[in-house]
Amino acid sequence: MEYIKLAEAYSELENTSKRLHKTFIISQLLKETSEEDLEHIIMLLQGRVFTDADDREIGVAAKLVLKAISVSTGFSISNIEKMWKEIGDLGEVAEKLCGKKTQNTLFSSDLDIKEVFSNLQKLASLEGMGSVDQKVKLISKLLTSAKPLEAKYVVRTVLQDLRVGVAEGTLRDAIAWAYLPGILPNYDLDTNQINPENREEYNFQVEAVQSALNKINDFSKVAITAKKGIEELNKIKIVVGKPLKVMLAQKVLNVVEAFETVGKPAVLEFKYDGFRMQIHKFEDKVTIFTRRLEEVTNQFPEVEDFVLNNVSADSCILDCEAAGFDSKTGKYTPFQSISQRIKRKYDIEKMAKDFPVELNIFDIIYFNGEDLLSTPFKERRAIIERIVKEEEKKIVLSKKIISSSEEEAQEFFDESISLGNEGLMFKNLEGVYKPGSRVGYMIKLKDVQDPLDVVILGGEWGQGKRSGWVTSLTIGILSNDGFLEIGHVGTGLKEKPEEGLSFGEITELLRPNILEEKGRELVVKPSVVISIEYEEIQKSPGYSSGFALRFPRVKLLRSDRRSDEITTLEEVEDLFYNQKKS
């Protein structure tokens, strides 16, 4: 398929805010896509060229793209920078300049999907001496052949800032619309609603796609299978060794609300201040993934041993929390004390000794060939109680009680807090496992002033002794329409790295993600997540979220969080209105 067809679809998607219209646009594109190009199209619609489980990144900064635009169009970098500052979107700059190229394009050829996808993937593999020039050459080659509209989206994809509003739910529905019978054209574009007489059939088709995604978390493979029919789609199974998205929990403010959400009686479990591990065991092989689906098996060799020695299963997928503890006192320690182990590649044994972890198992989603996603939680809990041999400070089951009593729940909450934990999880005894979803089957109870997980959207270059560092950070929360600003923060970051999370560390994380700069201000790709403490949430028309944080302070880097797992606008609204009542 020619890349221009995808670029035209991008343009249509960017120019509508109606979810069903977006779904229709994508479904029509998918219908025209050959099986050979389908995997690439699905990935590119998400603005990416690597899957969640693949830790490679395109890794190209905006200044490098400036050079590529200059090489491919013949315009000077200074002129391009001037346009960039005026327009604020390097993709649009490329579109305008590629429409009036001054370079000879006699030897250019039309772009196709496979060529664009392949060359973008190559960018991640270019390292070492001369790699910058090679990356410029690769991007400029694409731009030389690109039509103006194609150039716009090539640049945005390179910068991982597509801006066309394709949410995962929209892509899921589009796959159903494209390949499963009976839905189109039974929707009303004006009202953005599925016609009522088609609602049941629509839900059935979409659920079939969602069920497949729950099992393999791969839109491309699900789309390819859906194209063969719903019967083939229903044959998709969980594969041990391939990570699934973890189920997420809603927040509540007190035990009364917790019971109202999950029902009585409920399972109450300690909520540990560690990081999520999804552990896959197949015979004598153990693979460990974070909640971001990154493999960290090598970083936690002791956890691998715990599972091999203490879990009686030929194959299983366990949902766990690795909690750090003080080797001298045995008391649990905060997440930041063990977070540095996640990315560690050297001195693994020393790190394991200095920052030990206890594996707390709280769920299982696959056991000896059986998919447990639809199995009630009480039965899943019974399985882990049967197959896990507990060993204190190595591998244990999350501490739990089953209760209907608000008084008992409060006492259990207080006990958890006193031991250094974050609070409690409340779980519906009959609840199923919903990967990637925040459902009422599982909720978390923590302090009202619980830190917010936010994404960095931009910042400001420092001055004086902080020159060269990004200082004042623009932070945002998640909404259905993307990321919304909720304030600026610089307090809490340190000047010396040995004192904690530093300006220098944050700057190095942000540097490859810079999308645009205007004077000292910069906009970055929303990928770095931090945890923010605050005194109060206030109404504020000055920020797109409508809220601001009073006295915000950076608590820690959340390297275990993706940007789509941060605090939502709905959660901030709940916190705001509940704090006003207190």
Kindly give, in sequence order, each residue whose CB lies less than 8 Å from that of residue 529, ignoring residues fewer than 6 positions away. 453, 454, 455, 456, 557, 558, 559, 561, 562, 563, 565, 566
Distance CA 119, CA 244 (A): 28
pLDDT in tens, 177-201: 898 865 555 566 666 666 666 667 7
Distance CA 316, CA 386 (A): 13
Q: Which long-range contacts (CB under 8 A, 24 or more apart) does 212-215 make?
A: 212/236, 213/172, 213/435, 214/244, 214/245, 214/373, 214/434, 214/435, 214/436, 215/244, 215/371, 215/373
Question: 312, 280 in Cβ contact below 8 A?
Answer: no
Phi–psi pair at 515, nearest 5 degrees: -100, -35
Closest CA to 565 of 287, 277, 249: 249
Kindly give, in sequence order, each residue whose CB lies less than 8 Å from that of residue 30, ignoring residues fewer than 6 positions away. 38, 41, 174, 175, 178, 179, 223
CB atoms inside a 10 Å sphere around CB 507:
18
3-state secondary structure of 185: coil
Distance CA 96, CA 80 (A): 10
Instruction: Give the global pTM.
Output: 0.79
Instruction: Quote the pLDDT of residue 183.
Output: 54
Distance CA 407, CA 253 (A): 15
Residue tagged active-site, from 271, 427, 525, 555: 271
Q: How is the chain split into domains, by residue range?
A: 248-445, 452-581
Return the DSSP state at 254.
S
3-state secondary structure of 337: helix
> From residue 576, how far is each of 448, 480, 487, 547 by CA, in Å?
10, 19, 15, 9
Question: 318, 372 in Cβ contact below 8 A?
Answer: no
Residues of the chain falling short of pLDDT 50: 104, 106, 581-582
What is the pairing mode between strands 400-403 and 193-194? unpaired
pLDDT in tens, 380-403: 999 999 999 999 999 999 999 999
Q: Is 165 exposed, middle or buried (0-12, 13-18, 19+ CB in 10 A)?
A: middle
CB atoms inside a 10 Å sphere around CB 338:
22
Q: Is 271 a catalytic residue?
A: yes
Closest CA to 305 of 348, 269, 246: 348
pLDDT in tens, 32-50: 999 999 999 999 999 999 9
Partners of 187 in the beta sheet? 194
CA quadruple 570, 574, 575, 576: dihedral sign:
positive
Closest CA to 212 of 203, 202, 222: 222
What is the pairing mode between strands 357-367 and 395-397? parallel
Partners of 456 in the beta sheet? 475
Instruction: Quote the pLDDT of residue 302.
Output: 94
Distance CA 178, CA 29 (A): 8
Partners of 324 in the beta sheet? 357
Q: What topology is assigned to 452-581 in CATH?
A: OB fold (Dihydrolipoamide Acetyltransferase, E2P) (2.40.50)
What count of Cα atoms within 13 Å lies in the side-chain half-sphere of residue 480? Answer: 6
Question: 74, 102 in Cβ contact below 8 A?
Answer: yes
The residue behind tokens 């199995």 is 375
CATH superfamily of 248-445: DNA ligase/mRNA capping enzyme (3.30.470.30)
Cα-based angle 40, 41, 44 (whole degrees, multiple of 5): 85
The residue behind tokens 């005026």 is 86
Instruction: Quote the pLDDT of residue 242.
Output: 93
